[in-house]
């Protein structure tokens, strides 16, 4: 009998149910003759605002650009300090550096993988101007506590929502708590395009107005440039694809939630550290992280049994070659511990319940 194979992700399979609708949308785009900032971008922005209950959505070229433009329009003093998790994807930190601000790394709560409000308080100085929260793996940060700290110290909040489309806390969606929400629609995201794409959410008329300028060369009227802007426009073709998939985002998140429920109830919790699920949080499990002290051996064992996994992430930002000089002599033990032991299990919309049953069975028979 041939061995069962479980992909970590299979984008063709994931997108297959939408192919007919994609083709219709792409056909309409091609035939419209309008290829930049047209009806599909506007339509997606409106749909995404309605979905999140945010006043504005501004489509941009990527998640990184959403963070860069979002930080830029806040007009924070150059060189001021921005608090950011020590265990995030590099884009969050890169965006801070790119706009001339100073990233200050904050350790997470180990079990939650998200920013520790207690640590935030400890690192605030007279130069701190903002907090970039990252709702990592699809779980929201402790936003009530973080908002209280930000108010107390007059700090701006930017939410990195690249991994949390549709996630909520007390019924309120990611991207609607802070001044700015930054989304990535990279193909593997819970809401993924067929290429690079991103968006910013905000309730501020002033910030939205600036962002509509900034993403388009600082211009709203052709050849008149009010600001020194960027070329970072959400593409019409991608916007059409995203409009199709947004209709199914809740169903896709529901599927991932059901798979997570299986892992949570059936994996041997005495051997693996499993994600915590808390009341009032709707987690969308962009990633299902488990931890084990012999992570690399476990990964190899899964692979020999036909199961592909990923590591999010193998090297923490402060130890990345290009970034080391930004954090000289600094250590982040919680973050380092997570990076050395974390393993992401298959939990795609394209992963079946049968696949997950198999992964559980193999994991529970690992001889550690
Ligand atoms: C937490 C986080 N922030 C930002 C990004 C950047 O998004 P993009 O790849 O669309 O630039 C990603 C994903 O790639 C991410 O996971």
In sequence order, what DSSP letters do the residues of 164-188 get, joined into one string? -TT-EETTEETTSSSSEEEEE--TT
What is the average pLDDT across 82-101? Answer: 98
Beta carbons within 8 Å of 251's beta carbon, 6+ residues apart: none
Q: How far, in Å, is the centroid of ligand 1 from the Cα of 321?
A: 19
Opening angle at CA 310, ends 309 and 313, nearest 5: 155
CA distances from 317 to 36, 103, 135, 189, 314 (A): 35, 11, 17, 21, 10
Q: How far, in Å, is the centroid of ligand 1 from the Cα of 55?
A: 23
What percent of the chain has pLDDT above 90? 98
Atom of ligand 1 nearest to the CA of 286: 16
Opening angle at CA 178, ends 176 and 181, nearest 5: 65
> Which H helix or E strand runs over 82?
strand 81-85
Distance CA 286, CA 266 (A): 20
What is the average pLDDT across 271-286? Answer: 97
CATH 3.40.640.10 range(s) for the chain read 13-246
Atom of ligand 1 nearest to the CA of 67: 4
Q: How far, in Å, is the centroid of ligand 1 from the Cα of 190?
A: 12
Distance CA 199, CA 213 (A): 14
- DSSP code of 149? H
Whether 2 has a pLDDT exceeding 80, the answer reads: no
Predicted confidence (pLDDT) per residue in 200-257, tens digit = 999 999 999 999 999 999 999 999 999 999 999 999 999 999 999 999 999 999 999 9
Beta carbons within 8 Å of 310's beta carbon, 6+ residues apart: 8, 287, 343, 344
Model-level pTM? 0.98
CATH 3.90.1150.10 range(s) for the chain read 248-364
Ligand 1 test: best mutation among 92, 159, 162, most atoms within 8 Å of CB?
Answer: 162
Pick the CATH number of 13-246 from 3.40.718.10, 3.40.50.2300, 1.10.287.70, 3.40.640.10: 3.40.640.10
Cβ(201)–Cβ(5) below 8 Å: no
Atom 10 of ligand 1, residue of closest alpha carbon: 63
CB atoms within 10 A of CB 76: 20
The gap from C-alpha 343 to its chain's centroid, in whole angstroms, comes to 17
Distance CA 266, CA 53 (A): 35
**In which band, very low, low, confident or very high, does the pLDDT at 3 lie, cut at 50, 70 and 90?**
confident
Cβ(145)–Cβ(169) below 8 Å: no
Atom of ligand 1 nearest to the CA of 189: 13
User: What's the chain's length in residues?
Assistant: 368
C-alpha torsion sign, points 84, 86, 89, 95: positive
Cβ(275)–Cβ(109) below 8 Å: no
Beta carbons within 8 Å of 131's beta carbon, 6+ residues apart: 82, 83, 84, 115, 120, 146, 149, 150, 155, 156, 157, 158
Q: Which pLDDT value is given to residue 1?
A: 58
Atom of ligand 1 nearest to the CA of 91: 4
Average pLDDT in the chain: 97
Whether 125 has a pLDDT exceeding 70, the answer reads: yes
Q: Any residues with Cβ below 6 Å from ligand 1, and which?
A: 62-64, 88-89, 91-92, 134, 160, 162-163, 184, 186, 196, 198
Predicted confidence (pLDDT) per residue in 323-349, tens digit = 989 999 999 999 999 999 999 999 999
Burial degree of 37 (CB within 10 A; 0-12, 13-18, 19+)? middle
Predicted confidence (pLDDT) per residue in 127-150, tens digit = 999 999 999 999 999 999 999 999
Cβ(275)–Cβ(345) below 8 Å: no
- Calculate Rg over the CA atoms of the chain: 21
Atom of ligand 1 nearest to the CA of 66: 11
Predicted confidence (pLDDT) per residue in 279-326, tens digit = 999 999 999 999 999 999 999 999 999 999 999 999 999 999 999 899
248-364 folds as 3.90.1150
Q: Which residues share a beta bridge with 344?
A: 289, 310
Beta carbons within 8 Å of 361's beta carbon, 6+ residues apart: none
Q: How far, in Å, is the centroid of ligand 1 from the Cα of 91?
A: 6
Ligand 1 test: best mutation among 9, 132, 184, most atoms within 8 Å of CB?
Answer: 184
| DSSP secondary structure letters along 266-286 | HS-TTTSBPPP--TTEE---S
């Amino acid at each position: 009998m041939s061995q069962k194979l479980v992909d970590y992700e299979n984008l063709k399979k994931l997108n297959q149910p939408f192919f007919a609708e994609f083709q219709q949308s792409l056909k309409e785009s091609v035939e419209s003759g309008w290829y930049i900032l047209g009806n599909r971008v506007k339509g997606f922005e409106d749909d995404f605002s309605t979905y999140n209950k945010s006043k504005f959505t501004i489509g941009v070229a990527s998640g990184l650009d959403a963070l860069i433009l979002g930080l830029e329009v806040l007009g924070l003093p150059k060189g001021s300090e921005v608090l950011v998790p020590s265990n995030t994807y590099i884009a969050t930190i890169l965006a801070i550096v790119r706009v001339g601000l100073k990233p200050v790394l904050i350790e997470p709560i180990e079990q939650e993988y998200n920013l520790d409000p207690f640590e935030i308080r400890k690192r605030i100085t007279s130069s701190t101007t903002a907090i970039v929260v990252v709702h990592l793996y699809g779980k929201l940060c402790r936003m009530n506590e973080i908002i209280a700290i930000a108010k107390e110290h007059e700090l701006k909040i930017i939410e990195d929502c690249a991994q949390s489309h549709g996630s909520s806390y007390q019924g309120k969606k990611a991207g609607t708590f802070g001044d700015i929400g930054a989304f990535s629609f990279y193909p593997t995201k819970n809401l993924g395009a067929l290429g690079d794409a991103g968006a910013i959410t905000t309730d501020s008329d002033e910030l939205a107005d600036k962002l509509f300028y900034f993403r388009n060369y600082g211009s709203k009227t052709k050849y008149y440039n009010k600001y020194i802007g960027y070329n970072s426009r959400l593409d019409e073709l991608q916007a059409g694809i995203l409009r199709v998939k947004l209709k199914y985002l809740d169903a896709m998140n529901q599927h991932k939630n059901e798979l997570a429920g299986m892992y949570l109830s059936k994996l041997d919790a005495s051997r693996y550290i499993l994600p915590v699920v808390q009341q009032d949080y709707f987690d969308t499990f962009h990633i299902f992280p488990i931890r084990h002290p012999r992570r690399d051996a476990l990964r190899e064992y899964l692979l020999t049994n036909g199961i592909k996994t990923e590591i999010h992430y193998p090297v923490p930002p402060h130890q990345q070659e290009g970034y080391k000089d930004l954090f000289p002599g600094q250590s982040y033990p919680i973050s380092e511990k997570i990076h050395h032991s974390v393993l992401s299990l298959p939990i795609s919309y394209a992963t079946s319940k049968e696949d997950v049953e198999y992964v559980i069975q193999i994991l529970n028979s690992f001889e550690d």
